[in-house]
Amino acid sequence: MSAISKRFPGVVALDGVDFDVSAGEIVALVGENGAGKSTLMKILAGIHPPDAGEIRIGGAPVVMYAPTDAARLGIAVIHQELEVIDTLDVAGNVFLGREPRRGGLLQLLDRRRMEGDTERQLARIGVHLSPRTPVARLSTAERQLVAIARALSIDARLLILDEPTSSLTSRDAERLFDVLRDLRSAATAIVYISHRLKEIEMLADRAVVLRDGRNAGTLPRQSITHDRLVELMVGRAVEPAAVRQTTPGPPVLQIERLRTGRYADVEVSLTVHGGEVLGIAGLTGSGRSELAEAICGVGVRLSGRVLLDGQPLTIGSPGDAIRHGICLVPEDRRRHGVVAPMSVRENVTLPRLASYSRFGLVGRAREAEAVRGVTAALTVKAASIETPVRTLSGGNQQKVVLAKWLALRPRVIVFDEPTQGVDVGAKAEIHRLIRGLAAEGAAVVMISSDMDEIVAESDRVAVMHDGRITGILPRARCSPESIMQLAVA
């Protein structure tokens, strides 16, 4: 890719960017949210046409008008925002758009071949799912693995992965890394986009860094370090978080003998104090998200009590939880956290629109002033507060989700994968926000698949396995090893 440029209304996404990758090479594409990484790869995938520049595949110039053109050239993409069809089963998603046929004139779907090939692709990455399972029943992490299996199944000559481990546990991620190394050995070219810099150090043969839509530098394998990547990405050093001393207050949130829909035979009891960050860790399918959703009125709660400041609550919907000051930052921001076609302003004020209204009319000036303040505090990168959220980068969409709850000053806030797909600078900002909410007396629950994040940011860690809590670790005894021992109990 040579001198690639791309503009969107009010934004220069790419300005003369160069990028290349060879067969049998893993090239990391790194940069802050809004640096242009996803836009560059969407151009390579035929989703967006470039405004200027040239693309060559195997030395020959190509023009791609649609993703089908890229697929014919052997380019497969696993997008950050998963593109799976809930109404199809796993096999239907893996073979979407290229379903094998049988039966001569009748041209029936060859389900036996679809299911057999799907099982083999899932086995490559250590996943044990029935090909007939409806995708609507899968967790976000399981959906991610299905998307990976679909990309692998076409035997691509160029594979692009955009934040592929954002919803994966460390065990699932290791399986993926083994697959990528095998593909590299088989001469597949791989572009790897991630904000998890340890993964870049471990996997990449080269790292290409973008900043503000331009090339910021390229590092060979021997020069790839966390500090050097950060320096090129943000042009400054990110200060490490200060070691904090916390004194938890009285219990704010109490969960007593709660049973969720997925784990109907397991009861969970838990207490979260004001002023503390309680981390919840566990492997994929351990029940972390189901617990969070049951607390916040999103998922099924079969029995049990939720108490706030000692008072039992009746929570039958997300609205009930919000009225009591219990908020959820969901794992899948695009499906559950934002209304993508609406503007930044409309998304931020949606849960508390009545506070800006009088006689049924919204006071736009007061609303806009409040939104500008909270989006500036979170450094949301958007042309204006009227920009549709769907046009923002993944990390900036996450900031919009966070902004939505800030002015509510919640008593309890549950973060499910809060830094999924955000850059190193934004991650530090979100961690400061989480600690700030706790310092103000809120009870904070943080679910994360990032073991380093759980260890660094939690005052206590509750570990889950098969829907139950297998242990609660104080900060002094919290380590990746102690967590994993409980996670596989």
What's the CATH number where 429 sits? 3.40.50.300
Q: Looking at the structure, tell me whether residues 134 and 192 fall in a common domain.
A: yes
Q: Looking at the structure, tell me whether residues 195 and 67 fall in a common domain.
A: yes
Q: Give 269-300 pLDDT, tens digit per residue.
A: 999 999 999 999 987 678 888 899 899 988 88
Do the domain assignments include residue 240? Answer: no
Choose the final residue of a domain: 166, 199, 234: 234
pLDDT score of 89 more than 60 = yes
Q: Looking at the structure, tell me whether residues 216 and 261 fall in a common domain.
A: no
pTM: 0.61
**pLDDT score recorded for residue 424:** 76
Distance CA 389, CA 206 (A): 32
Q: Looking at the structure, tell me whether residues 218 and 302 fall in a common domain.
A: no
DSSP character at residue 244: -
Sign of CA dihedral 43, 45, 48, 51: positive
Q: Give 309-336 pLDDT, tens digit per residue.
A: 999 999 989 889 998 999 998 887 777 8
Find tokens 């998890």 and name the residue.
196
Do the domain assignments include residue 243? Answer: no
* Burial category of 368 from C-beta neighbours within 10 Å (exposed 0-12, middle 13-18, buried 19 and up): middle
Distance CA 71, CA 92 (A): 18
If DSSP codes are grouped into helix, strand and coil, which group holds residue 153? helix
**pLDDT score recorded for residue 32:** 75
Whose CA is closest to 196, among 87, 80, 116?
80
User: Percent of the chain, pLDDT > 70?
Assistant: 95
Q: Looking at the structure, tell me whether residues 10 and 37 fall in a common domain.
A: yes
Q: Looking at the structure, tell me whether residues 343 and 469 fall in a common domain.
A: yes
Q: Looking at the structure, tell me whether residues 371 and 320 fall in a common domain.
A: yes
Q: Looking at the structure, tell me whether residues 202 and 264 fall in a common domain.
A: no
Do the domain assignments include residue 396? Answer: yes
Do the domain assignments include residue 241? Answer: no
Q: What are phi and psi of 486, to 5 degrees?
A: -80, -30
Work out the average pLDDT over 140-154.
Answer: 82
Q: How many CB atoms lie within 10 A of CB 102?
A: 12
- The tally of domains found in the chain comes to 2
Q: Higher-confidence residue: 352 or 94?
A: 94
Q: Looking at the structure, tell me whether residues 121 and 26 fall in a common domain.
A: yes
Do the domain assignments include residue 244? Answer: no
Q: Looking at the structure, tell me whether residues 455 and 367 fall in a common domain.
A: yes
Q: Higher-confidence residue: 443 or 397?
A: 443
Q: Looking at the structure, tell me whether residues 199 and 312 fall in a common domain.
A: no
Distance CA 369, CA 383 (A): 16
Do the domain assignments include residue 246? Answer: no
Choose the final residue of a domain: 173, 201, 234: 234
* Burial category of 354 from C-beta neighbours within 10 Å (exposed 0-12, middle 13-18, buried 19 and up): exposed
Do the domain assignments include residue 289? Answer: yes
pLDDT band at 126 (very low <50, low <70, confident <90, very high): confident
Distance CA 86, CA 82 (A): 11
Do the domain assignments include residue 245? Answer: no
* Burial category of 444 from C-beta neighbours within 10 Å (exposed 0-12, middle 13-18, buried 19 and up): buried
Q: Looking at the structure, tell me whether residues 390 and 275 fall in a common domain.
A: yes
262, amino acid identity: R
Q: Give 188-236 pLDDT, tens digit per residue.
A: 999 999 878 889 999 999 999 998 899 999 999 999 998 888 788 877 6
Choose the weakest-confidence range: 57-71, 157-171, 211-225, 256-270. 157-171
Work out the average pLDDT over 153-169.
Answer: 82
Distance CA 320, CA 318 (A): 5
* Burial category of 236 from C-beta neighbours within 10 Å (exposed 0-12, middle 13-18, buried 19 and up): exposed
Choose the final residue of a domain: 170, 205, 234: 234
In terms of residue numbers, what domain contains 96? 2-234
Distance CA 50, CA 55 (A): 9
**pLDDT score recorded for residue 83:** 77
